[in-house]
Chain A
Amino acid sequence: MEAFRRIQTGKKGDIHMVAFKDSKILDDAVLDAIRQEITTLIGKASGPDVLLDFANVEFMSSAMLGLLGQLHRKISGGHGRLKMCGIRPEIMQVFKLTSLDKLFSIHKDAPAALATFT
């Protein structure tokens, strides 16, 4: 198992669980590292199921949404499923503002999200 600096990873069945370690995802360097680490994690999997846990994240930049868009296209393009959980109200506001709450599958917490993968 590779050790990642920006994300904490786990597996529940075939589902990759990814929790962001940072409370602020604002810096381009942090964002690039996250992109790299997730790519490494799911790079070779075809159609992976991925759950992103935002419980630690207090602030994130608009560029982070771009990364989520990339992941969404990549994962759903491979017939995998991308789900998110643990999003704070302030960040949920950003999703609503951009209508992206309609695009992404967003759940309250990890157990609730995992239950929807079946």
Chain B
Amino acid sequence: MLDQTAAAAPSGAGIDVVIAEDSRIQAKMLERRLVEAGHRVRWGENGAKALALVRERRPDIVVSDIEMPEMTGYEFCKAVKGDPALRTIPFILLSTLSDPIDIIRGLDAGADNYVTKPYEPDFLLGRMRSLLATPLADVQDAAATLEVSLAGQTFRVQAGRQQVLNLLVSTFENAVAKNQELVVANQELSVARDSLEKSNHELVGLNAEISRRNAQMVRDLEAAAKVQRSLLPAADAELPAAQVAWRYVPCADLAGDFLNVFPLDAEHAGLFVVDVSGHGVPSSLMAVTVGRFLVPKVSESSLLVRQAADGGVSIVAPADVATQLNRLFQADEFSGLYFTMLYGVLHLPTGRLDYVSGGHPALVRVPAAGGDVEHHGAEGFPIAFVPDVGYEQKTLQLAPGDRIYLYSDGVPEAMDAERQPFGEDRMNDCLRASRGRPLDESVAALLTAVEEWCKPAGPLDDVTILGLEWRP
């Protein structure tokens, strides 16, 4: 028996649709799409409200979500299909079909069709059209009880053959549609994977390049550090009539500090501490360059000694060394690099020390005769700071057993965790306290005191200490 109302229902535009959907946004989106297609829409936000709309005026088709408060889609469907007056209204369930049991539940509820969420509105419209094109027979009489086994459970389902067929077809169509989507997604993934593989390949190449450059830089830094170490006193540096000891702790791979002590001729020794401003590659490059001029052998570049007319060696006065260095290292307008230096020449037989300071901290004397430590400074601007200035030379007469210490500002300016400087007073105390111990121990003790002061961070500047004890 055909239901005339359903048979008469229009299959094209202008059909009357009831939507049951608890999401306002989804309902409005669907409504807009249906209205655009020329249909009339009524919306209930749950099964109960939608059922009231259906009862109020019989629609041509019902589209219902499943999960809704108050009355679910299944209950709503069951209510429609259980009402002889409404039974032939095609009923589409919107399901996520996350579980095969959903199909059984749909069958049991008497749903005519499934559309899986998320859906394309056009797909749903197509479904609606095809459902309306083949009106449902009134399945009341044809309904039979089916037994369906699923996941180890047996379900007894009341459904008509056409309904089962429709549902089966819709499920299959859904599966085909989903499969097509999967094929497309798979193709997209495959394209994305190819592109990823390409990017990955490029990354591997870049990574290798970075590693190569990094290794090169590490080698360069090591080479530079090695060149810098060549600026330091030889391990077996020994002077007649004097003992020397030194410590040098750069705060980074490459330092701006360096020191040296060496014989200039049979009677003279030269000693210096240089501190180039800043750290890292630019400062260390300047340090190495400066170092080439401060060598004790007669050469093109040495500023410390010259070939004398009699074939011997003449020693350049410390003030002249500083003046010449300042002339050579014209202030660098780009980097602003400069250096401080304390350079002294000790006459070994007499203990006379001539020295010059280019903006460098004063040297410290610890007199052998006892008494307080003394600071001896000379005025002079840092080198490469002010063009064409002269430097003042000073003289300090040592007594036998006197110790002098040259150091970089990394010693007095070393800061503790509260940014308090180590300071000259602590340095003096330390050198005074160690005067009875061997020279090397006194230098080591000062370094240890500075390092202790800077804990836990450690010194932020290079720390350089050079000690000399005159023993004629």
Interface residues in chain A, defined as those with a beta carbon under 8 Å from any beta carbon in chain B = 26, 28, 35, 58-59, 61-63, 65-67, 69-70, 72-74, 90, 94, 97-100, 102-103
Evaluate contact between A98 and B278: CB separation under 8 angstroms: no
Contacts of B382 in A (CB 8 A): 65, 69, 98-100
The distance in angstroms between the C-alpha atoms of A40 and B337, with both chains bound, is 21
Chain A nearest CB, measured from B64 CB (Å): 62
Known: A59-B419, A70-B331, A97-B409. A65 touches B381 (CB 8 A): no
Known: A66-B277, A69-B385. A90 touches B379 (CB 8 A): no
Evaluate contact between B421 and A66: CB separation under 8 angstroms: no
B380 CB–A CB distance under 8 Å: yes
Known: A69-B331, A99-B380, A103-B381. A62 touches B336 (CB 8 A): no
Interface residues in chain B, defined as those with a beta carbon under 8 Å from any beta carbon in chain A = 275, 277-278, 331, 333, 335-338, 340, 357, 359-361, 379-382, 385-387, 409, 413, 419, 421, 460
Evaluate contact between B381 and A66: CB separation under 8 angstroms: no
Evaluate contact between B421 and A62: CB separation under 8 angstroms: no
Contacts of A35 in B (CB 8 A): 336
CB-based A-B contact count at 8 angstroms: 66
Chain A nearest CB, measured from B290 CB (Å): 15
The distance in angstroms between the C-alpha atoms of A70 and B419, with both chains bound, is 27
Contacts of A97 in B (CB 8 A): 359, 361, 409
Evaluate contact between B278 and A99: CB separation under 8 angstroms: no
Evaluate contact between A103 and B386: CB separation under 8 angstroms: yes
Evaluate contact between A69 and B338: CB separation under 8 angstroms: yes
Evaluate contact between A70 and B381: CB separation under 8 angstroms: no
Chain A nearest CB, measured from B444 CB (Å): 25
By beta carbon, the residue of chain B nearest A63 is B278
Chain A nearest CB, measured from B59 CB (Å): 67
The distance in angstroms between the C-alpha atoms of A79 and B369, with both chains bound, is 53
Chain B nearest CB, measured from A34 CB (Å): 11
The distance in angstroms between the C-alpha atoms of A61 and B331, with both chains bound, is 18
The distance in angstroms between the C-alpha atoms of A42 and B133, with both chains bound, is 85
By beta carbon, the residue of chain A nearest B385 is A69
Evaluate contact between A99 and B379: CB separation under 8 angstroms: yes
Chain B nearest CB, measured from A56 CB (Å): 15
Contacts of B379 in A (CB 8 A): 99, 102
The distance in angstroms between the C-alpha atoms of A99 and B357, with both chains bound, is 10
Partner of B359, one of A67, A70, A100: A100
Evaluate contact between A66 and B359: CB separation under 8 angstroms: no
Chain B nearest CB, measured from A107 CB (Å): 20
Evaluate contact between B336 and A99: CB separation under 8 angstroms: no
Contacts of A74 in B (CB 8 A): 333
Q: Please, could you name 20 A-B residue pairs with CB atoms under 8 Å apart, sorted by A?
A: A26-B460, A59-B419, A61-B278, A62-B275, A63-B278, A65-B277, A65-B338, A65-B382, A65-B385, A66-B335, A66-B337, A69-B385, A70-B333, A72-B386, A73-B331, A73-B387, A94-B413, A99-B381, A100-B385, A102-B379
By beta carbon, the residue of chain A nearest B335 is A66
The distance in angstroms between the C-alpha atoms of A103 and B389, with both chains bound, is 11
For the complex with contacts A63-B277, A66-B385, A90-B421, 9 further pairs of A-B residues with Cβ separation under 8 Å are A35-B336, A66-B336, A69-B338, A72-B386, A97-B359, A99-B359, A99-B379, A102-B379, A102-B381
The distance in angstroms between the C-alpha atoms of A103 and B272, with both chains bound, is 24
Contacts of A62 in B (CB 8 A): 275, 277-278, 409
Evaluate contact between B338 and A66: CB separation under 8 angstroms: yes
Contacts of A102 in B (CB 8 A): 379, 381
Which of B277, B361, B380, B421 has the most chain A CB atoms closer than 10 A to its own CB?
A: B277
Contacts of A58 in B (CB 8 A): 419
Contacts of B421 in A (CB 8 A): 90
Which of A26, A65, A94, A98 has the most chain B CB atoms closer than 10 A to its own CB?
A: A98
By beta carbon, the residue of chain B nearest A77 is B387
The distance in angstroms between the C-alpha atoms of A59 and B333, with both chains bound, is 24
Contacts of B333 in A (CB 8 A): 70, 73-74
The distance in angstroms between the C-alpha atoms of A58 and B418, with both chains bound, is 12
Contacts of A59 in B (CB 8 A): 419
The distance in angstroms between the C-alpha atoms of A100 and B360, with both chains bound, is 11
Contacts of B337 in A (CB 8 A): 66
Contacts of A61 in B (CB 8 A): 277-278
Contacts of A90 in B (CB 8 A): 421
Contacts of A99 in B (CB 8 A): 357, 359, 379-382
By beta carbon, the residue of chain B nearest A99 is B379
Contacts of B381 in A (CB 8 A): 98-100, 102-103
